[in-house]
Amino acid sequence: QSNAFQILISNLNYFQKLQKVNATNFQALAAEFGGESFTSTFQTRSPPSFYRAGDPILTYFPKWSVISLLRQPAGVGAGGLCAESNPAGFLESKSTTCTRFFKNLASSCTVDSALNAASYYNFTVLKVPRGMTDPQNMEFQVPVILTSQANAPLLAGNTCQNVVSQVTYEIETNGTFGIQKVSVSLGQTNLTVEPGTSLQQHFILRFRAFQQSTAASLTSPRSGNPGYIVGKPLLALTDDISYSVSFLDRGNGICSVKRHEVQFGVNAISGCKLRLKKADCSHLQQEIYQTLHGRPRPEYVAIFGNADPAQKGGWTRILNRHCSISAINCTSCCLIPVSLEIQVLWAYVGLLSNPQAHVSGVRFLYQCQSIQDSQQVTEVSLTTLVNFVDITQKPEPPRGQPKMDWKLPFDFFPFKVAFSRGVFSQKCSVSPILFLCLLLLGVLNLETT
């Protein structure tokens, strides 16, 4: 009994023997006895569609395919040492100053990126945060434009020349459309190489609203207000510059720089012969493409005839359908475009009494042919077609209004005829009364008999 009692006491006072943990039961034990963890489950969230005030500004380095942040170094501590990790906040215009100390300026002069002017503009700024999903897309990239002279650091004797002392960023924004333009101006100085050399740097960040220049907005062509007018030019946009879509000019049969404007609602066809220079396949393709679509290449088309180049929402992107190289089974052939069809889908919108024509979509459809690399082709025939397609959705026709002079229908009661309008009904109202009198008279005669 005493042994049993001792065993009972030992079971109550000691932890049970642990089972052996291995790769098979590790996850089961962790799930059974585990609780909350400091390690949060990673959840993939899509980046926001636009910057908000105070958000860090994203940058992209194409050379290394790296996404980073726009930095605005600030001074920390009693000595105001530069803290590189301080991010620039969206719409937060401010100025910071900090100090850098160098133990050996001779070795840091040409190596330290903080002293090199190129490190402040050798990247692009993402227009909106969602550009993180496709940073290589040029639509999301805003280049940093250098507006001052900047030279690379140079160690000349006992002097480190062209050291950056001031950086000023000017950033233009357009609401939820994000950052539209970024420019930087740099100030440089020279430092004497000596022990304990220090450099004070100033960093300035300014934000302002993006505005199209007044001169450009006044001279921008219009083709209606707001809807397009038939016969007016079809408007295109490239790099914030508005102009008319054009196609080949037949002229004397030889392609030239002269071109015809595409007129809204007017189908057209034209062609010419392009004299080719001796070049490789890629240069030949590029030359013919530029001849077909014109220079510059149209990127957007105005939805309405009075579209503002500064408002991207008023323009629709042109869909391009190029030739498929995989469609040919020839390794020694060059696929060159010979035809361009400009397809424009448009429709009337608004009130029936005042319809407005607007563009719903535009597509550039190219047709190609293959030539042998060994062939000495001196000229090629090119053709351009313009085709407008009306996709207006017309409403149902309205129902007729009821007429006020409709007459009541005839039925078994013969006296409703007397209630018809007009002089004729007044004249004919004697007949029913006479019929009624004769009917009553007949009934009385039957009763007397």
Residue 306 falls inside a structural domain = yes
Q: Are residues 204 and 243 in the same domain?
A: no
Domain boundary among 345, 370, 390: 390
Last residue of a domain, one of 366, 390, 414: 390
Q: What is the pLDDT of residues 192-201, one digit of tens each?
A: 998 889 999 9
pLDDT in tens, 268-285: 999 898 888 777 888 888
The predicted-structure confidence for 384-399, as pLDDT tens digits, reads as follows: 999 999 998 887 776 6
Least confident of 24-33, 370-379, 420-429: 420-429
Question: Could you tell me if 196 and 277 lie in one domain?
Answer: no
Is 205 found in the same domain as 287? Answer: no
- Residue with the larger pLDDT of the pair 114 and 4: 114
Long-range contacts of 391-394 (CB under 8 A, 24+ apart): 391/345, 391/346, 391/347, 391/360, 392/347, 392/348, 393/347
Q: Is 34 a domain residue?
A: no
333-377 pLDDT, tens digit per residue, is 888 899 999 999 999 998 888 899 999 999 999 999 888 765 677
Pairing label, strands 81-83, 58-61: unpaired
The total number of structural domains that make up the chain? 2
What pLDDT, on a 0 to 100 scale, did the predictor assign at position 414? 53
Q: Is the peptide bond before 296 cis (omega within 30 degrees of 0)?
A: yes
Rounded mean pLDDT of the chain? 82
CB–CB of 65/136 below 8 Å? yes
Is residue 181 one of the residues assigned to a domain?
yes
Which has more confidence, 108 or 328? 108
Q: What is the reported pLDDT for 339? A: 93
- Same domain for 167 and 239, yes or no, is no
At residue 145 the predicted structure's pLDDT band, cuts being 50, 70 and 90, is very high
Within a domain: 448: no
Name the domain boundary from 177, 209, 241: 209
Does a structural domain hold residue 140?
yes
Residues 76 and 180 reside in one and the same domain: yes
Q: Do 248 and 361 lie in a common domain? A: yes
Distance of CA 287 to the CA centre of its chain: 28
Q: Does the residue 275 lie in any domain?
A: yes
Banded pLDDT at 122 (limits 50, 70, 90): very high
Domain coverage including residue 250: 232-325+332-390
- pLDDT(44) > 60: no
181 and 266 co-located in one domain: no
Q: 212, 144, 203, 213: which is closest to 177 by C-alpha?
A: 212
pLDDT tops 70 at residue 420 = no
Same domain, 279 and 160: no
Residue 145 lies in a domain: yes
pTM value is: 0.44
Question: Strands 197-209 and 159-173, how do they pair?
Answer: parallel
In a shared domain, residues 250 and 382: yes
Q: pLDDT grade, residue 39 (50/70/90)?
A: very low
In a domain? residue 399: no
Statement to judge: residues 268 and 316 lie in one domain: yes
Q: pLDDT band at residue 252, thresholds of 50, 70 and 90?
A: confident
Distances, alpha carbon 171 to alpha carbons 142, 209, 321, in Å = 10, 9, 36
